[in-house]
Amino acid sequence: MSLIKQLWIAISVIMIFAFGGSLVVSVLSARHYLEQQLQLKNIDNATALALSLSQMEKDPVTIELQVAAQFDAGHYQFIRVLSPSGQTIMEKVYQGKETDVPSWFTQLIPINTTPGKAQIQDGWKQYGSITLASHDAFAYQSLWTGTQELLVWFLLGGLAAGLFGSWGLKVITKPLRDVVMQAEGISERRFQTVPEPKTPEMRSVTKAMNDMVIRLKAIFGEEAARLEALRQKVNRDAVTGLSSRDYFMSHLREVITGEGFSTTGSLVMVGISDLAHINAKVGHVKTDALLKSLGTILYESGNGKPGQRAGRLKGAEFAIICPTMNSPVQAAEDIHKRLTEQWLPQWSADVPELFYVAAVGYRREQPMGELLSYANEALAKAQALEPNSYFASDAGPAHAAYPAEQWRTLLTEAVSGGRLHLAFYPVVSGNSQAAIHQEGVIRLQAGAEDAPLSAGDFMPMAANLNLAAPIDLRVVRLAIEHLSTTAGDIAVNLSAEALADTGFRHALTQLLKSYPDVCKRLLFEVPEYGVFRHFEAFRELARALKEMGCRIGIEYFGQRFAESDKLADLGLDYIKVHPSYVRGITQNTGNQEFLKGLCKIAHSIGIQVIALGVESASDLPLLTALGFDGATGPGVKQA
């Protein structure tokens, strides 16, 4: 039983006893007072009437008129005139309507009074006697009214005491509720501190809980920092800070073969003119500074461009994958402009002939060897041009594009019509290869004869046309429809653009409230770059979805691991690790150590870890040994 209910029961019991005692004392006192007043009134009225009759003529008519006048003027139960022998000379008895006082009340609390008596004289002789009694109905009415008023005041007082007590109890126990919510948050993988109350007993409990949360966050932060340092060591070039060759090539393979990016894009190559000569001319320290500044510029070129990444392929050769730029010319111009304006002026005095840039286009599923051959040929042509220039080639991939208005029509029809559907891929357990859930991936049917387009083909254009939110809402509806006819759980992706849309978040929660039974089987995933780009919006949505029973996860996790301490209070259910860490895992001992530590720290706060982009089922035993709870990718099939 809650404290509030116990408080109300206690107040009710106290008020009952208080009312009962007060009622008994008050009613008995009032009855005694009324009995005294009625007794005195009877005596006084009898004496006064007897004196009046003694001074009058004693004929029956006169006496009757005087008694009737007195009876009508007062409130009497009866007036009786008796002869000395006891015979009734005349009598008046009240015949009016009784009061509304309940009979049980008059029986429970009787008012007993003695009638007033007086002698009537006729000169020196006794004419007779008079006996009268005032009517007690009015006394009962007064007593009943007083009792009702007392009851009302006690009820009002009890209600006021209960309300005030409830409010006071809520104020007093608020710190306790905060601690309970904090404990529940910890069980839901949300680590938050709460304000310490002024009450000493509560403050000690709250302080202990806060200290525990702070220690957990500190441990999480320290482990995250250690893993981030390991990740940087394994996957970053020590001088430039860019991706190492292996890590860049793994990401390039994901961009070309994965469905998270557009069908076409650009690969930009940057070469430094005679790095050995530069090193000999300006010295090792200056050369490292030159390379570091180049790495900073190439890294920052990907800001706000999902999937764009730069890497150092070898000593003087760098590459930038640009999934958001279909035109190699545009990609080359962008990188060339950054180098010309931000890098060249710093070093032109020492090294006037500093760099050359080349760019080629690619298409999905293009062989890696073919793409790199095109890139090397373009880089050789750029090197043959004048210093600090660029060369761009469209040779290789040929890709068709829809006009903007055609895209708008196509995507609008997709939202309202049947052009969108979901393709399902299993996420399996590493041990048993049984399905953990199905991942519902969006597909767009552009034409009856065309192959379905993946999200990477049309979602960038949908974002430009402000249609990402309606499309994501349609995807959720498709998932709900599928869940209503099948068993198991389904995970769907939400785009970063929809995440930032307040209207979308409201519409999504309202939609899910209409299907409470489905929520427990529905999982939502947001790409990591979208989470950190709109972190507060993601936090708000995650809490709303968790309250309705949905599960929430982050996809393509690990690119911004240094900021992962922000995730400690979100209550995440799972993360899906970026394929660039998973591909080739059997040969990469550094990534094995990093992923093992990542799984350990995620499990310590109750988060499942799933591997993305698994290319072969033979990798599953190793991934399981590293601590992964599940896996998905082209090499994964449901048992």
* pLDDT beyond 90 at 292: yes
State the Cα torsion 207-211-214-216 to the nearest 10°. Answer: -130
Q: Tell me, what's the pLDDT at 513?
A: 92
Residue type for position 258:
G
576-606 tens-digit pLDDT: 999 888 988 888 888 899 899 889 888 888 8
CA distance 260 to 253: 12
Task: Region of 105 please: left (phi>0), alpha (psi -120 to 50) or beta.
Answer: alpha
> Are 306 and 324 spatial neighbours (Cβ–Cβ below 8 Å)?
yes
User: Under DSSP, is residue 422 helix (H, G, I), strand (E, B) or coil?
Assistant: strand
CA distance 169 to 194: 19
- Is the fold of 3-159 the same as that of 404-631? no
Within a 10 A sphere around the Cβ of 397, how many other Cβ atoms? 20
Q: Tell me, what's the pLDDT at 7?
A: 66
Q: Tell me, what's the pLDDT at 398?
A: 41
Residues 110-115, mean pLDDT to the nearest whole number: 82
Superfamily of the domain at 264-393 = Reverse transcriptase/Diguanylate cyclase domain (3.30.70.270)
CA distance 242 to 384: 26
Cβ neighbors of 220 (< 8 A, separation 6 or more) are: 191, 565, 568, 601, 604, 605
How much of the chain exceeds pLDDT 90, in percent?
A: 26
CA distance 287 to 351: 11
Q: Is the pLDDT higher at 623 or at 148?
A: 623
Q: How many residues does the chain have?
A: 639
Residue type for position 366:
Q
pLDDT band at 342 (very low <50, low <70, confident <90, very high): very high
pLDDT band at 623 (very low <50, low <70, confident <90, very high): very high
pLDDT band at 208 (very low <50, low <70, confident <90, very high): confident
Q: In the numeric block, which tokens belong to residue 495?
A: 């785009």
> Are 356 and 390 spatial neighbours (Cβ–Cβ below 8 Å)?
yes
Tell me the sheet residues that pair with 448.
none
Task: Out of 275-284, 360-369, 396-405, 556-565, pick the least confident.
Answer: 396-405
Cα four-point dihedral sign 582, 586, 592, 596: positive
pLDDT band at 397 (very low <50, low <70, confident <90, very high): very low
Q: Tell me, what's the pLDDT at 437?
A: 92
CA distance 117 to 111: 19
* Backbone angles phi and psi of 51, in degrees to 5: -65, -40
Q: In the numeric block, which tokens belong to residue 120?
A: 């009537």
6-53 tens-digit pLDDT: 766 777 777 777 767 777 787 788 778 878 888 888 888 888 888 888
> Are 350 and 356 spatial neighbours (Cβ–Cβ below 8 Å)?
no
Structural domain spans, the chain? 3-159, 264-393, 404-631
Query: Which fold does the domain 3-159 belong to in CATH?
Result: Translation Initiation Factor IF3 (3.30.110)
CA distance 421 to 183: 41
Helix (H), strand (E) at residue 278: helix 275-282
Average pLDDT, the chain: 83
**Gyration radius of the chain's alpha carbons:** 47
* Backbone angles phi and psi of 75, in degrees to 5: -115, 95
The domain made up of 404-631 is a member of CATH 3.20.20.450: yes
Cβ neighbors of 375 (< 8 A, separation 6 or more) are: 267, 269, 319, 358, 360
Residue linked to tokens 């111009």: 333
CA distance 585 to 341: 39
User: Under DSSP, is residue 325 helix (H, G, I), strand (E, B) or coil?
Assistant: coil
Taking CA atoms, 513 is separated from 254, 296, 487, in Å, by 37, 47, 20
Q: Tell me, what's the pLDDT at 399?
A: 41
Residues 147-163, mean pLDDT to the nearest whole number: 79
* pLDDT beyond 90 at 628: yes
User: Under DSSP, is residue 360 helix (H, G, I), strand (E, B) or coil?
Assistant: strand
Tell me the sheet residues that pair with 356.
271
